[in-house]
Amino acid sequence: MEAVGFEEYLAALLHAPRPRTGALAFYDHRVGRICTDQRLLFLPLDDHLCLRGDGLFESLACRERVIFALEDHLARLREGAEALRLEPPCSWEELRARIVDVARAAGRDDCGMRVLLGRGPGGFGIAPSECPVSSLYIIALESSPTRPEVLERGLSAFASAIPPKQPYLARIKSNNYLPNVLMAREAAERGLDVAVAFDEQGRMCEAAIASVGIVDAEGALVCPPPERILAGTSMRAALAAAQARGMTVLRRDITRNDIAHAREMLLFTSASLCLSLTSFDGAPVGDGNPGPVASLLREDVLRIMLREGTSF
């Protein structure tokens, strides 16, 4: 195969087959422009974000032209950046403004968003010093509402064989998501919806891309303690909503026995807010149907997010 120059390679690159990603608009800080043609959605091969997983990401949801919990997502991104000693290529104020710009450029009332902050391009080794400037990519994506049948029947869950991340990584939303990928594959292979990780002592941690909690036998909303799970923005909003309703809210260890005696098991996500997990390890949770707390918290969290979110 012969080597080609810039023009020939660029033409071939633009015509190379690729799956449709649903990208509506995206921004690369190196270019300094927002683009709406997904044929140009590329990442440098030497960016340590993809080469070494040396970077962070955030998943955000937009509804009715409002970005949910933008400040919470930025705070978590900033905490992760401090842990990785990773400086963004611009000020945090500019980063926030670019997220809003990309959401607006998507031209949709509802969309999903990804913000990726990486070590940047510069080498094929492992040392961060190879990369003189960090990278920033922001993508707005098509989104679909939660399917009605999911709300009506709930989701199936099981205890994953994949161990949770170690505490020093668990609270960082890093771009290295291989354990989460393995959990998602495990669920697909078993024909179930949600894999849930448990630590060495049998304590529940989190799902592949979501936080998990229960409504216990006494009616309290219980979520795992923060030491070994990501600080989920939807979970935090749900805890606040439950407290506002007068529910008891607890952060404590949750075991399989607690799930067996729970009234409800809940999944907290940016896209769907709060969903019912109606079975766990083949046994029904509660009466096996979506419970009232999941529905109430989903409505409450939506109101909170719309009221306190960032309009664009």
What's the DSSP call for residue 85? T
Domain 7-141, architecture per CATH: 2-Layer Sandwich (3.30)
Region(s) of the chain under CATH 3.20.10.10 = 148-311
Q: Taking phi first (over 0 means left), then psi (-120 to 50 degrees means alpha), and beta for anything else, what does residue 273 get?
A: left
Mean pLDDT over 163-184 rounds to 92
Q: 206-226 pLDDT, tens per residue?
A: 999 999 999 999 999 999 999
Distance (Å, whole) CA 102 – CA 108: 11
Distance (Å, whole) CA 23 – CA 230: 26
Region(s) of the chain under CATH 3.30.470.10 = 7-141
- State both tokens at 20: 């449709």
Q: 238-275 pLDDT, tens per residue?
A: 999 999 999 999 999 999 999 999 999 999 999 999 99
Q: Quickly list H helices, the chain.
A: 6-14, 48-51, 70-84, 92-105, 148-153, 167-170, 178-190, 233-244, 256-260, 292-308
Residue 299: pLDDT band (50, 70, 90) is: very high
Residue 225 C-alpha from the chain's centroid = 19
Fold of 148-311: D-amino Acid Aminotransferase; Chain A, domain 2 (3.20.10)
- Tell me the whole-structure pTM to 2 decimals: 0.94
Give, in order, the Cα–Cα distances in Å from 176 to each of 53, 154, 227, 239. Answer: 5, 29, 19, 28
Residue 167: pLDDT band (50, 70, 90) is: confident
